[in-house]
Amino acid sequence: MDFELNEDQRAFEEAARQFAREQLLPMAASWDETSTFPKDVLRQAGEMGFLSLYTPPEQGGMGLNRLDASVIFEQLAMGCTSTTAFMTIHNMVSWMVASFATDQARTECCPKLSCGEWLGSYCLTEANAGSDAASLTTKAVRIGDHYEISGAKAFISGAGDTDLLIVMARTGEAGPDGISAFIVPAGAEGISYGRKEPKLGWHSQPTRAVTFDKVRIPAYYLLGEEGQGFRFAMKGLDGGRINIATCSVGTAQQALNLARQYMTERKQFGKPLAHFQALQFKLADMATELVAARQLVRYAASKLDRGDPEATAYCAMAKRFATDVGFAVCDQALQLYGGYGYIQEYPIERHFRDVRVHQILEGTNEIMRLIIARRLLNDDTALL
């Protein structure tokens, strides 16, 4: 088993590292302070291929696998967690359209999504359908050659500032088998957006509620067939969990790098903090847990790429572990900075705020434990 990156992956890593250093890192604090959604930089990311990483080449994407994408997202997250997290959402939108849309819809949408001319949001969560996403109540009714969508979504990243929405709506009976997926132009008549939610972190991307009031879309904007939407959503979530776990790893690595540098510069009792054994041990534990998290994320990504039957459970384990470790590492880095870590002049407090939501979205970590436990209890050879 080879744990080293191949030549192509190292090239992807270096390209993403350079983009993060030149385009994301210098502006991340400003975007956070002013709650600026950096569309111009996102379009530059699209020109680099970072908005269509696993979209097939015939649809304008790079056609990479999930492990390749994880290598890239980790480097981008070191520049700006919040902006990179939005890129992962847009990538899921691009992938779903390229994978499941009709030929006509793909022709209309994929070229613009792949290059970043259009930005996409993913609309699954509702006020009363979060962890229990299969209970969503937004409805889509077929009327002749179009569908009419009514309902509301909550906590939608990019909403109000993006160009295209992927919307999960009920076309059939209660439960997951009655859910379908649709492409919806973000400016369609009947769509309204709530206020920009004031959030603890992720300030560089807006989060709003979205209301659909008899929104009409052509029938060919249906993804796949009626009743397949929840299946598509679950396929997307496995990759989404790898992505958000990766964002935690990248952010935590940046926090660790900053803490290590600070320990060599900051002096107390006449010597650098790096000379105190108790703090050395803390740094060692942070690094060890972070390496373990990275390896689990990449292992889960490789299982997803191979279509391993245990991929869903491993994606859940990776998401649970890496987001918990990522937050813990950022928390300890802030502690090592002391009082300086708590003020906005230094980036540590932003890293701390930005990774906290990773333990909630793409399925809470409690839900991740439920997925893992059910798999173990249903099969005594599972995960071996």
What does the pLDDT read at residue 281? 98
pLDDT tens readout for residues 184-221: 999 999 999 999 999 999 999 999 999 999 999 999 99
What does the pLDDT read at residue 383? 76
pLDDT tens readout for residues 285-305: 999 999 999 999 999 999 999
Q: How far apart are CA 342 and CA 372, in angstroms?
A: 36
Bigger pLDDT: 173 vs 20: 20
Q: Tokens 């942070």 — which residue?
A: 286
Q: Which helix (H) or strand (E) holds 267?
A: strand 267-268
Q: How far is CA 193 from the centre of its chain?
A: 22
At 153, the amino acid letter reads: K
Q: Helices 277-306 and 66-79, interaxial angle, to 10°?
A: 140
pLDDT tens readout for residues 207-264: 999 999 999 999 999 999 999 999 999 889 999 999 999 999 999 999 999 999 999 9
Task: Indicate if the pLDDT at residue 358 is higher than 80.
Answer: yes
What does the pLDDT read at residue 3? 85
Task: Indicate if the pLDDT at residue 384 is higher than 80.
Answer: no
pLDDT tens readout for residues 312-331: 999 999 999 999 999 999 99
Mean of the pLDDT values across residues 265-270?
Answer: 94
Instruction: Name the nearest CA neighbour of 92 among 45, 129, 55, 117.
Output: 55
> Cβ of 86: how many Cβ atoms within 10 Å?
27
Per-residue tokens: 210 = 């979205």
Residue-wise burial string across 194-205, b where 16 or more C-beta atoms lie within 10 A, e elsewhere: bebeebebbbbb
List all residues 6 or more positions away from 269 whose beta carbon is below 8 Å from its beta carbon: none
Q: What is the pTM of this model?
A: 0.96
Active-site residue, from 74, 108, 362, 366: 362
What does the pLDDT read at residue 158? 97
> Cβ of 156: how many Cβ atoms within 10 Å?
24
Strands 120-123 and 164-170: parallel
| Residue 362 known to be catalytic | yes
Q: Helices 348-356 and 229-265, interaxial angle, to 10°?
A: 160
Mean of the pLDDT values across residues 28-40?
Answer: 98
At 360, the amino acid letter reads: I
Task: Indicate if the pLDDT at residue 380 is higher than 90.
Answer: no
What does the pLDDT read at residue 116? 95
CA dist 214 → 152, 159, 163, 309, 339 (Å)? 11, 18, 19, 40, 52
Mean of the pLDDT values across residues 359-381?
Answer: 92
Domains by residue range for the chain, with CATH: 7-115 (1.10.540.10), 120-225 (2.40.110.10), 230-378 (1.20.140.10)
